[in-house]
Amino acid sequence: QAVLTQPSSLSASPGASASLTCTLRSGINVGSYKIYWYQQKPGSPPQYLLSYKSDSNKQQDSGVPSRFSGSKDASANAGILLISGLQSEDEADYYCMIWHSTAYVFGTGTRVTVL
Amino acid sequence: EVQLVESGGGLVQPGGSLRLSCAASGFTFSSFWMHWVRQAPGKGLVWVSRIYSDGSSTSYADSVKGRFTISRDNAKNTLYLQMYSLRAEDTAVYYCTRALELGGDWGQGTLVTVSS
């Protein structure tokens, strides 16, 4: 079982909200981790969006629109990237990441399609 | 402006070696952790290795431990990844990143293809 599991794909309409989940493997408590989120468009390197550990410990990269936000769902043991007001330019792959044990671990990635 | 430019990728036979370089500019190179992350064609991101600002501490993913060596030359603002005993599964775009623990800045990557 992967350390971080993400849905492989998500489709939504322009203007809608998209909630991307990053589920931590059983036994790894989401509350203990800062979760980083990246956006990657075809042919380009990933770009850092934001990180979220708690409401008092979060950071948004400069230039990232405020319609991108992070949170956690403790009951689901998952980190969440919320994209509000989806735009065509948001079509991309999204990856979560944590520092776990002695290594950085990336999630499996979610491809977001804006219909 | 932060710039990270990778080089050294190419085609290598299984069991061969290759050294990647990453030329950094636009920031104080000697102050930051540096990392290598790779991405196989059509696949996800995989962290490979990191090195402390002064080179005194390094970490590796289990998949490359004992085969890859990360190093840096702070006088030349350059990060390296020496790769030995290359396998087909090492085929990937290799990205140099700055301060992944702060989110990170990424280079454009260099493609390594391991094939006979």
116 residues of chain B, pLDDT tens digit each: 999 999 999 999 999 999 999 999 999 999 999 999 999 999 999 999 999 999 999 999 999 999 999 999 999 999 999 999 999 999 999 999 999 888 889 999 999 999 99
Q: What is the pLDDT of residue B90?
A: 98
- Would you say B89 and B95 are in contact if contact means Cβ atoms under 8 Å apart? no
Could you give the count of Cα atoms lying within 13 Å of B47 in the half-sphere of its Cβ? 28
- Would you say A98 and A52 are in contact if contact means Cβ atoms under 8 Å apart? no
Q: Do A107 and B44 touch (CB under 8 A)?
A: yes
Q: What percentage of chain A reaches a pLDDT higher than 70?
A: 100
Q: What is the pLDDT of residue B104?
A: 85
Give the separation between CA A77 and CA A45, rounded to whole angstroms: 28
Phi, psi of A90 (to 5 degrees): -85, -5
Q: What is the pLDDT of residue B84?
A: 98
- Cβ within 8 Å of residue B46, ≥6 positions away: A106, B37, B38, B39, B40, B61, B63, B92
The owner of tokens 């990844």 is: B81
Q: What is the pLDDT of residue B114?
A: 98
How far does B25 lie from chain A, in Å, by closest CA? Answer: 17
B59 CB neighbour count, 10 Å cutoff: 17
Q: Do B109 and A47 touch (CB under 8 A)?
A: no
Q: Classify each residue of A41-66 as buried b or exposed e, where b means 16 or more C-beta atoms within 10 Å of its C-beta.
A: eeeebbbbbbbbbeeeeebbbeebee
Q: What is the pLDDT of residue B39?
A: 98
By DSSP bridging, strand A110-114 and strand B45-51 are unpaired
Show residues of chain A in contact with B105, CB under 8 Å: 48
pLDDT in tens, A10-41: 999 999 999 999 999 999 999 999 999 999 99
Q: Is B5 exposed, middle or buried (0-12, 13-18, 19+ CB in 10 A)?
A: middle
Q: Do B101 and A105 touch (CB under 8 A)?
A: no
Q: Mean per-residue pLDDT for A44-55?
A: 96
Nearest CB to A45: which of B47, B62, B95? B95
Q: What is the pLDDT of residue B101?
A: 85
Best CA proximity match to A32, nearest among A57, A6, A60 = A57
Q: What is the pLDDT of residue B48?
A: 98
Q: What is the pLDDT of residue B103?
A: 84
- Would you say A113 and A16 are in contact if contact means Cβ atoms under 8 Å apart? no
